[in-house]
Amino acid sequence: MLDNKKISKFAISVVEDLQKNNFQAYLVGGCVRDALTNIVPKDFDIATSATPEQVRKIFKASRIIGKRFKLVHVFNRSELLEVATFRSGDTKKEDGENLITDASGKILRDNIWGTLEQDCHRRDFTINALYYCPITKKIEDNNGGLKHIHKKIIVSIGDPQRRFEEDPVRCLRAIRFSNKLDFKIDNDIKEAIYDKGHLLSDISNARLFDEFCKIYLGGMGEKNFVKLNSFNLNKYLLLSDPNKSDFANSVMVQALRNTDDRIKNEQSTTPGFLMAALLWPTLLSKCTRNGEVNIRKFFRSMDDVLRDQQRLTAIPRKFNSYIKDIWVLQLKLHSRIGSQPYKTLRHPRFRAAYDFLLVRERAAADKGGLGKWWTDFQKDDDSLRGSIISNMNEKDDAESGKIFGFYNELR
Ligand code: ATP
Ligand code: MG
């Protein structure tokens, strides 16, 4: 059974306070599922019979958020909990302002309160609809979620065809959870993904950026990439190289592998680095003709690529210049004579650009040595650096500088 040691003390105290005020309250969703599958839960969601206004009154440090889906954030200095009121989830019973669906059945707003039993039905998968009371230590399981955890399978609550029409993002969630938990996906869900995946084109770019981060910056990026490709869903998250070259695929896989490794080693990651890497093949495809990169086109295409990607996933503005810096530095890394390498080394984004150079080299199985040159150049003190540079002659640099002429070098 579930051990309370796996649950945040703050989350337990919030459940207790709600219950003391005569409301029902449970931990629910990912934290219960993860704790039962020996994954350390990363955040805690609470479901309650109290309305958002009632929750807000009980906790001083709280605020009501959301319009489409109203809920309350309850926080202390280090943690933030999402407290959601039970929803009735009855999409047939349209109720003016509170529940709105569009012509395709997509839920645009759901703020009709309900009971615990009803709340289960609006959740996506049975394993996400387990309600745990940390005081009695009992789990409410109305849909067989415990059995499915035991069987390691993701099963939809209700007909997945209809559920994915209501919210197509569930297609992405099913794939993400199957990799995270190493669970199979039920056949009905697979079929619904094939049938309804195209509805993802109507989902807002902001929501898809959130999902992009969960999919690609959660430590399972490479696996998610492969599985999303097998369902042909990556096109809703990412621009892709129109030539579909092996190189494009390889850069993407290497970049994701690098990010997954960094997460495993508890190193920092940013969507900026990953976007720069994932969009690199698309950028090159726009400015390369007959194997040659046109530098003016390279610079002009950067904004086009970012703008097109923004239509899919809204990349927060602050990452735009970061991404472009990494791209431009790829050119500069090829210039190794005179004072240029010192300037490149001092650039605030040098480290990220260098990491990406290594990713590119790995993707092209290129042992050309540029990455190694920079590895040595960084390590040495200034006097040694001087000798590394004086060992470079124009011919060598021109060799590596083929970046300015030849596509192969850029790869
Ligand atoms: P993780 O936090 O690891 O992404 P999670 O299951 O906790 O997984 P959240 O997005 O935090 O995912 O949502 C919490 C819970 O809310 C889910 O477990 C599920 O019960 C419900 N939920 C979230 N998104 C949806 C959705 N799109 N459709 C139906 N239910 C959802
Ligand atoms: Mg969660």
CATH number at residue 360: 1.10.3090.10
- Does 163 contact ligand 1 (Cβ within 6 A)? no
Average pLDDT over residues 264-283: 95
Considering the domain boundaries, does residue 199 fall inside one? no
**What is the 70 CA–ligand 1 centroid distance (Å)?**
14
Considering the domain boundaries, does residue 250 fall inside one? no
Which ligand lies nearest to the CA atom of residue 83 in the structure? 1
Chain centroid to CA 130: how far? Answer: 24
* Model confidence at 406: pLDDT above 70: no
- Ligand 1 atom closest to residue 123's alpha carbon, by position in its atom list: 30
Kindly indicate the confidence band of residue 391, based on its pLDDT and cuts at 50, 70 and 90.
low
Q: Are 161 and 195 in contact (CB under 8 A)?
A: yes
Considering the domain boundaries, does residue 25 fall inside one? yes
Q: Are 327 and 280 in contact (CB under 8 A)?
A: yes
What is the spatial distance between Cα 206 and Cα 77, in angstroms, rounded to a whole number? 27
Average pLDDT over residues 122-129: 96
Question: Atom 9 in ligand 1: which residue has the minimum CA distance?
Answer: 30
**What is the 318 CA–ligand 1 centroid distance (Å)?**
27
pLDDT tens column, 260-269: 999 999 999 9
Domain that holds residue 313: 262-410
Question: Atom 8 in ligand 1: which residue has the minimum CA distance?
Answer: 30
Burial class (CB in 10 A: 0-12, 13-18, 19+), 271: buried
**What is the 46 CA–ligand 2 centroid distance (Å)?**
10
Mutate to test the pocket of ligand 1, among 33, 44, 45 (most ligand atoms within 8 A of CB): 45
| Domain final position from 155, 181, 203 | 155
Which two structure tokens, joined as six digits, stand for 98? 């509170």
CATH of the domain at 43: 3.30.460.10
- Does 167 contact ligand 1 (Cβ within 6 A)? yes
Angle at 234 between CA 230 and CA 237, to 5 degrees: 160
Mutate to test the pocket of ligand 1, among 124, 159, 170, 177 (most ligand atoms within 8 A of CB): 124
What is the spatial distance between Cα 216 and Cα 223, in angstroms, rounded to a whole number? 9
Active site residue 45: yes
Give every CB contact of residue 266 below 8 A, 6+ residues apart in sequence.
none
What is the spatial distance between Cα 239 and Cα 247, in angstroms, rounded to a whole number? 15
* Model confidence at 401: pLDDT above 50: no
| Domain final position from 111, 133, 155 | 155
- Selecting among 124, 167, 186, 260, the annotated active-site residue is 124
User: What is the tally of structural domains in the chain?
Assistant: 2
Q: What percentage of the chain carries pLDDT values higher than 70? A: 89
| Domain final position from 155, 171, 205 | 155
- Selecting among 34, 45, 110, 119, the annotated active-site residue is 45
**What is the 111 CA–ligand 2 centroid distance (Å)?**
19
- Does 128 contact ligand 1 (Cβ within 6 A)? yes
Q: Are 333 and 353 in contact (CB under 8 A)?
A: yes
Q: Are residues 9 and 147 in the same domain?
A: yes
Other C-beta atoms lying within 10 Å of the C-beta of residue 202: 11
Other C-beta atoms lying within 10 Å of the C-beta of residue 219: 17
Considering the domain boundaries, does residue 107 fall inside one? yes
Q: Are 277 and 222 in contact (CB under 8 A)?
A: no
What is the spatial distance between Cα 335 and Cα 318, in angstroms, rounded to a whole number? 28
Active site residue 43: yes
pLDDT tens column, 126-174: 999 999 999 999 999 999 999 999 999 999 999 999 999 999 999 999 9
Q: Are 14 and 8 in contact (CB under 8 A)?
A: no
- Ligand 1 atom closest to residue 176's alpha carbon, by position in its atom list: 4
Considering the domain boundaries, does residue 173 fall inside one? no
User: Alpha-carbon dihedral of residues 51, 53, 59, 62, nearest 10 degrees?
Assistant: 110
Considering the domain boundaries, does residue 105 fall inside one? yes
Which ligand lies nearest to the CA atom of residue 84 in the structure? 1
pLDDT tens column, 54-81: 999 999 999 999 988 899 999 999 999 9
